[in-house]
């Protein structure tokens, strides 16, 4: 059987191309396709053409048979490796190829009919037409093979997933969290395998798995959070918690806190471990731990230490109640003295808390960036109830490193440190003075956020608007108004109102008057909706209505004044006319 040559070009043109050159390489597509017979069919066609040429003993027939052989050899052998990559792991590609093959078969039949109709004689001498079923089988065979290979690869991947160990499962889950896939079925298999090997997982495996699942949670439409509850139950076991390190504990608690699955048993175990956790400077990197502690202080330290302090306070309250019942029969003076001693002991215990000592040791080895992050986090943490003493002790430890790295600080870091240190009045005032001296020649390099931090620090330190540094800072903040968004303008306005900064306040008022004359922009409306409370929004709406009413009243008054002026002008004109008429009448009477 001769090879079937089909294409978009048409019968004679395609035959001329086959006669002129070697075998053209065409690809399978929906618009046009080329299909060929197998190698056995090609050999049989060659032998039949040779027999016909020998029986006829005509040179022209031999040439035509040779041309037909060359045209049949120019047919394309479609390999399954060109259609689908052998490394594909999803069966959807095979289904897509099968759909393309079906559409390509219809296109091939239509092209063959068009070619035969265009030149039936020449086309019949070169190619023998085949049925549509044979063409469909020739095209669908590679697609079916590719689909079978993809299904086999998917089955092998599922079987390998069922045999994954704890370490390999953690590596695969971390890679999938970074690069995908993010389909629900894959992550359900991950959760099922994690549940099977949960008993053999160590604390590093659990922390890595929880962090990877938290990272993938943003890319998934729906994730079964049962894995977080399983990890939380496993982490709360004493034999698992006893071997953990500080960084691993912070990583796991951060993930579980984000998933809102921190239960009291886990918090109690984490608090006990933080009290006895060792600090090994060879294995623990302080530069790596400080940013984690700064970023996770609200979620990790607040949760664990808060739960631990609540337990301690409950126990102390029970002891105090028992002691009060025992001391009711004693003298009132002795009871007061004992209560004062107990309060002093409680304060000493809170100051000598092991996690605070751990933070102090870490903060004494940090760099300039770590000092900025740590002091900013501690300044926010001291405002929470029960953390004032711990935050002050840790801030004092971090402040000792500021003078070491003072020459390397940028303008933004200096403003941030000055703002953080101004919230701790018990720290040495000489440190604030050194930071002010370091900031003075670098004020011109501050951005909007740095200006806000520096202005807040100046307000807390009591530097009024007449100070040269304060004047320079106000000028720099006024120059940054045009580069601020609405949130930055709101922060600058609030600082200028609370502090004594008249120059900045005057510039902001001028900017506000200029903006009130124009309609509100879309950015301003979005800022009002996102950053203001409902009461503030109502207040702004009330103010805008009052402003509109005032503008309408002013317009009405102006119109009334214009009308009065016009009426006065009319009366004046009438009086002048009457006087002229009376004068004319008098003159006429005198003349007569």
Same domain, 242 and 149: no
Cα 344 to Cα 315, 348, 512: the distances in Å are: 16, 6, 53
d(CA 205, CA 234): 11
Same domain, 28 and 65: yes
Cβ contacts of residue 107 below 8 Å, gap of 6+?
30, 31, 32, 33
Same domain, 17 and 143: yes
Q: What is the pLDDT of residues 102-161, one digit of tens each?
A: 566 556 556 555 554 444 444 344 444 445 555 555 555 666 777 677 667 666 655 566
In a domain, 174, yes or no: yes
Same domain, 271 and 213: yes
Same domain, 150 and 238: no
pLDDT score for 277 = 66
pLDDT score for 329 = 62
- Reply yes or no on whether the pLDDT at 92 is more than 60: no
Structural contact between residues 194 and 206, judged by C-beta atoms closer than 8 angstroms: no
Domain count, the chain: 3
Structural contact between residues 361 and 279, judged by C-beta atoms closer than 8 angstroms: yes
In a domain, 354, yes or no: no
Same domain, 42 and 118: yes
- Reply yes or no on whether the pLDDT at 337 is more than 80: no
In a domain, 348, yes or no: no
Q: Which of 125, 156, 187 is the last residue of a domain?
A: 156
Same domain, 574 and 552: yes
Q: Which two tokens stand for residue 570?
A: 């009319």
In a domain, 409, yes or no: no
Structural contact between residues 158 and 186, judged by C-beta atoms closer than 8 angstroms: no
The rounded Cα 391 to chain-centroid distance in angstroms is: 30
Please, what's the b/e burial string for 307-342 (b: 16 or more CB within 10 A of its CB; e: otherwise)? bbbeebeeeeeeeeeeeeeebeeeeeeebeeeeeee
H/E stretch holding 317 reads helix 302-326
Cβ contacts of residue 340 below 8 Å, gap of 6+?
none
Nearest to 492 by CA among 500, 503, 482, 481: 481
d(CA 223, CA 229): 13
Cα 135 to Cα 4, 76, 109, 589: the distances in Å are: 9, 13, 8, 127
Average pLDDT score, the chain: 64
Same domain, 86 and 175: no
In a domain, 476, yes or no: no
Structural contact between residues 18 and 71, judged by C-beta atoms closer than 8 angstroms: yes
pLDDT score for 352 = 47
Same domain, 88 and 193: no
pLDDT score for 298 = 46
Mean pLDDT over residues 339-364, rounded? 60
Q: What is the pLDDT of residues 451-502, one digit of tens each?
A: 888 888 888 888 766 788 888 888 888 888 877 777 777 778 888 877 778 8
pTM assigned to the model: 0.36
H/E stretch holding 547 reads helix 534-591
Which H, E and C letters describe 28-93, residue by residue?
CCCCCCCCCCCHHHHHHHHHHHHHHHHHHCCHHHHHHHHHHHHHHHCCCCCCHHHHCCCCCCCCHH
Cβ contacts of residue 194 below 8 Å, gap of 6+?
169, 173, 201, 209, 227, 230
Q: Which of 229, 254, 277 is the last residue of a domain?
A: 277
Q: Which of 277, 292, 312 is the last residue of a domain?
A: 277
pLDDT score for 114 = 56
d(CA 472, CA 584): 76
d(CA 217, CA 92): 25
Instruction: Please state the length of the chain.
Output: 592
In a domain, 408, yes or no: no
Q: pLDDT-derived band of residue 204, with 50, 70 and 90 as boundaries?
A: confident
Q: What is the pLDDT of residues 532-587, one digit of tens each?
A: 555 555 555 656 667 777 778 888 888 888 888 887 777 777 777 777 777 777 77
Same domain, 175 and 252: yes
Same domain, 31 and 86: yes
Judged by average pLDDT, the poorest of 214-218, 228-232, 430-434, 489-493 is 214-218
Structural contact between residues 414 and 469, judged by C-beta atoms closer than 8 angstroms: no
In a domain, 200, yes or no: yes
pLDDT score for 55 = 41
In a domain, 469, yes or no: no
Same domain, 131 and 175: no
Mean pLDDT over residues 172-187, rounded? 73
The residue written with tokens 């922390």 in the block is 207
User: What is the domain extent for residue 121?
Assistant: 11-156
SS percent in the chain: helix, strand, coil, step 5: 75, 0, 25
């Amino acid at each position: 059987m001769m090879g079937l040559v089909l294409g978009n070009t048409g019968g004679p043109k395609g035959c001329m191309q086959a006669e002129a050159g070697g075998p053209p390489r065409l690809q399978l597509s929906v618009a046009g396709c080329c299909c060929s017979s197998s190698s056995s069919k090609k050999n049989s066609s060659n032998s039949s053409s040779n027999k016909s040429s020998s029986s006829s003993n005509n040179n022209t027939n031999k040439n035509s048979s040779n041309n037909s052989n060359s045209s049949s050899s120019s047919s394309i052998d479609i390999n399954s490796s060109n259609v689908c990559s052998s490394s594909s792991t999803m069966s959807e590609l095979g289904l897509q190829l099968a759909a393309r093959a079906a559409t390509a078969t219809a296109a091939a039949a239509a092209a063959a009919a068009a070619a035969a109709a265009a030149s039936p004689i020449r086309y019949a001498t070169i190619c023998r037409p085949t049925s549509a079923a044979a063409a469909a089988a020739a095209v669908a065979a590679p697609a079916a093979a590719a689909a079978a290979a993809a299904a086999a690869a998917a089955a092998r991947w599922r079987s390998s997933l069922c045999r994954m160990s704890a370490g390999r499962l953690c590596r695969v889950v971390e890679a999938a969290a970074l690069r995908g896939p993010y389909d629900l079925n894959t992550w359900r298999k991950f959760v099922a395998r994690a549940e099977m090997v949960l008993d053999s997982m160590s604390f590093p495996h659990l922390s890595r798995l929880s962090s990877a699942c938290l990272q993938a949670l943003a890319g998934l439409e729906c994730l079964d959070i049962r894995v977080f509850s399983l990890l939380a139950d496993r982490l709360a076991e004493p034999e698992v918690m006893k071997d953990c390190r500080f960084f691993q504990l912070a990583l796991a608690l951060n993930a579980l806190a984000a998933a809102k699955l921190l239960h009291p048993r886990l918090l109690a175990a984490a608090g006990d471990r933080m009290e006895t956790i060792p600090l090994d400077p060879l294995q623990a990197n302080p530069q790596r731990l400080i940013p984690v502690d700064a970023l996770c202080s609200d979620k990790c330290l607040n949760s664990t230490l808060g739960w631990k302090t609540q337990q301690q306070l409950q126990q102390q309250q029970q002891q105090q109640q028992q002691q009060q019942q025992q001391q009711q029969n004693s003298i009132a003076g002795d009871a007061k003295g004992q209560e004062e001693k107990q309060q002093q002991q409680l304060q000493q215990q809170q100051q000598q808390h092991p996690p605070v000592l751990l933070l102090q040791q870490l903060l004494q080895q940090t760099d300039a960036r770590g000092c900025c992050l740590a002091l900013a986090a501690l300044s926010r943490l001291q405002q929470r109830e029960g953390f004032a003493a711990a935050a002050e002790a840790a801030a004092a430890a971090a402040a000792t490193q500021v003078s070491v790295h003072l020459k390397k600080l940028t303008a933004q870091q200096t403003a941030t440190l000055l703002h953080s240190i101004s919230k701790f009045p018990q720290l040495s005032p000489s440190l604030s003075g050194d930071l002010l001296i370091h900031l003075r020649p670098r004020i011109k390099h501050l951005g909007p956020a740095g200006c806000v931090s520096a202005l807040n620090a100046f307000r807390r330190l009591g530097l009024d608007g007449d100070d040269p540094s304060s004047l320079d800072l106000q000028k720099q903040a006024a120059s940054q108004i045009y580069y601020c968004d609405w949130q930055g303008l709101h922060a600058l306005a609030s600082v200028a109102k609370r502090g004594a900064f008249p120059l900045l306040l005057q510039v902001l008022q001028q900017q506000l008057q200029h903006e009130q004359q124009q309609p509100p922009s879309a950015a301003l409306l979005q800022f009002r909706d996102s950053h203001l409370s409902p009461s503030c929004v109502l207040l702004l709406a009330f103010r805008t209505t009052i402003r509109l009413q005032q503008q309408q009243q002013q317009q009405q008054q102006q119109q009334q004044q214009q009308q009065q002026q016009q009426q006065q002008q009319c009366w004046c004109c009438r009086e002048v006319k009457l006087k002229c008429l009376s004068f004319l009448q008098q003159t006429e009477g005198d003349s007569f």
